[in-house]
Structure 1
């Protein structure tokens, strides 16, 4: 077994690591952008794939990764995990349907609520204690799911036809243009001091330093990692001002 994930603010990383280690404490978990990820995938038959939901869709980086490495999925057993701030619909189904095309067997899906991570919007923001309770509830749910899986029963969150319709009509149709590909909408203000942290942390290699200032290219995957970490709060995406730097570590 191996866990692989895209995680911007640490939510999905936590959920995948917790589930994988409850099932097999020796199993590895690696981020999707790791140079080792393909070699590790080749060695394992069971994969737990995790990512945050974006407008009831899997992030384009995740879908792109699956398609670019289509050769690797044949006969793999995959369990999909997606984290959400409020609503997912068929967030797990969005990657599961692609994986099936390449021969993967989808074992099940888990859609789990975690603290909202969209740093430049007031929507869905809650105080620290409420978010800590959300994390506790998520941990409890993961423990229950691990127990189910050990008994051979896999939850099917987000994989049904009804979930597909909910995701499609709930958000995906209305916001499809935001997730059809990578985005060039990342904004970096004059508050940037060129520290380079965003360059180091971006899973897409989308940011570079020019003349002591960070510059974004056109391959942002909307993970919010750079926005949640920038010491100067100089980076935004959907909004124009950082309201709260949302990191899983705040709620441990």
Structure 2
């Protein structure tokens, strides 16, 4: 067994670590960005995959990772952990259908609400007290899920036809274009001091430093990692101003 994740600000990593380590304390936890990820997947018989849902869809970077390595999923047993800020009808179901297409065996799935990583939209932000409560509820759900898994009763959240309809009509029908391709909407303003943190942390290598300024190459997977890392709040994506930076370690 391994835990595999893509995580922008740490939510999905946090969830897969807590869940997998309580199912099998010897299991490895690895990012899809790790150069050893494909080797570890090939060696594993069971994979717990965790990722942040975007508009009830799969982040483009993870979608491409699955498809670009399509041959390694055949007969792999997979449990899916979809983290979300607000709502996801079938976030886990989207990945389940993609993996089944490539021959994987889907054990089940869950949705876990976490503090929203979208830090440039005021309506999505909450107080530290609310964020702490959200994490406590997430930990409770993880503990309940571990007990069910140990009893061989895998949750099936997000995998039904009804969930698929909720995801489609709740978000995906209206916002599919936002995740179909990489985004060219990342904006870096004059507050940039050229520290290079954004370029260092970008999973897409989408940001490069030119004359001590960060420049976007328009291949953003909308993970919000750079925006939450920037010490000068110089980067935005969906909104026009950073309201609250929410890396998981800052909330914990």
Does 2:241 correspond to 1:244?
no
List structure 1 segments (4+ residues) > 4 angstroms apart after TM superposition: none
Q: After TM superposition, give the deviation of residue 199 of structure 1 in Å.
A: 1.0
Mapping of residues 14-25 of structure 1, within 5 Å:
14-25=14-25
Partner secondary structure for residue 110 of structure 1: strand
Any unmatched runs of 5+ in structure 2?
A: none
Give, in whole Å, the separation in 1 of the partners of 2:217 and 2:95: 26
Give the TM-score, by structure 2 length. 0.98
Matched, 1:81 2:81: yes
How much is the aligned-residue C-alpha RMSD, in angstroms?
A: 0.8
Residues 203-242 of structure 1: CA deviation (Å, up to 9, x unaligned)? 1111110111011112110000000011111111001110
Q: Does the 8 A contact of 2:192 with 2:234 survive in 1?
A: yes
Cα drift, residue 124 of structure 1:
2.5
Distance in 2 (CA, whole Å) between partners of 1:208 and 1:122 is: 28
Contact 1:128 1:250 in 2 (8 A): no
- Pairwise CA distance, 1:87: 0.4
In the alignment, structure 1 segments of 5+ residues that lack a partner are none
Which residue pairs with 1:223 in the alignment? 223
Distance (whole Å) between structure 2 residues aligned to residue 250 and residue 201 of structure 1 = 17
Residue of structure 2 equivalent to 1:54? 54
* Cα deviation, residue 117, structure 1: 1.1
Q: Say which SS state the counterpart of residue 228 (structure 2) adopts.
A: helix
Residue of structure 1 equivalent to 2:42: 42
Distance 2:44 2:117 in 1: 31
Deviation at 1:173, TM superposition (A): 0.7
CA distance in 2, matches of 1:207, 1:251: 26
User: Displacement of 1:251 after TM fit?
Assistant: 2.3
How far did 1:100 drift? 0.3
Secondary structure in 2 matching 1:228: helix
Q: Which residue pairs with 1:234 in the alignment? A: 234
Moved more, 99-108 or 122-131: 122-131
Alpha-carbon contact 2:23-2:150 (below 8 Å) kept: yes
Q: 1:179 offset after TM fit, Å?
A: 0.6
For the residue of structure 1 that corresponds to 2:122, the secondary structure is coil
Question: Hey, what's the Cα distance between the residues in 2 that align with 1:169 and 1:229?
Answer: 33
1-structure distance, mates of 2:178, 2:240:
17
Q: Which residue of 1 aligns with 2:131?
A: 131
CA apart distance, 1:202: 0.7
Deviation of 1:184 (Å): 1.1
User: Aligned partners of 2:24, 2:123: CA distance in 1, in Å?
Assistant: 37
Q: Which residue of 1 aligns with 2:164?
A: 164
Asked if structure 2 preserves the Cα contact closer than 8 Å seen for 1:33 and 1:204, the reply is: no
Q: Matched residues in 2 for 1:216 and 1:152: separation?
A: 46
Q: Report the 3-state secondary structure (helix = DSSP H, G, I; strand = E; otherwise coil) of the residue aligned with 2:123.
A: coil
Whether the 8 Å CA contact 2:120–2:242 is kept in 1: the answer is yes
